[in-house]
């Protein structure tokens, strides 16, 4: 399935859209990390929770649960807020 990658993570993927596989968001992130080592840690913390500044959208719906089931036709966006001062 197609996964949209936010600008802050392009240093890992070098592309704003990549292909990945998984039947859940957790599996999808594992596949992305196999392809782009280190990317998962920027999105998911040591307790397997989304980092506070990251959100997933599946078919336009915000999803916070990594066990969310996915279909091969789903569109997944990773959105990462920018912060600073």
pLDDT in tens, 1-23: 999 999 999 999 999 999 999 99
pLDDT for the residue numbered 85: 54
In a domain, 48, yes or no: yes
| Domain tally, the chain | 1
Q: Does 83 have pLDDT greater than 90?
A: no
pLDDT at 80: 87
- We report the CATH number of the domain holding residue 61 as 3.10.20.30
pLDDT beyond 80 at 77:
yes
Residue 85 lies in a domain: no
What would the pLDDT profile of 23-73 be if each residue is shown by its tens digit?
999 999 999 999 999 999 999 999 999 999 999 999 999 999 999 999 999
Residue 81: the pLDDT is 80
| CB-based burial, 2-30: b 16+ in 10 Å, e otherwise | ebebbeebeebbeeeebebebeebbbbbb
- Is 75 among the domain residues? yes
Range of the domain at 15: 2-80
């Amino acid at each position: 399935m197609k996964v949209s990658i936010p600008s802050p993570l392009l240093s890992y993927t070098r592309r704003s859209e990549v292909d990945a596989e998984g039947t859940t968001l957790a599996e999808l992130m594992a596949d992305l990390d196999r392809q782009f080592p280190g990317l998962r840690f920027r999105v998911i913390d040591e307790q397997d929770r989304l980092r506070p500044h990251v959100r997933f959208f599946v078919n336009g719906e915000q999803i916070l649960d990594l066990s969310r089931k996915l279909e091969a036709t789903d569109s997944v966006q990773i959105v990462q807020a920018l912060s600073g001062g």
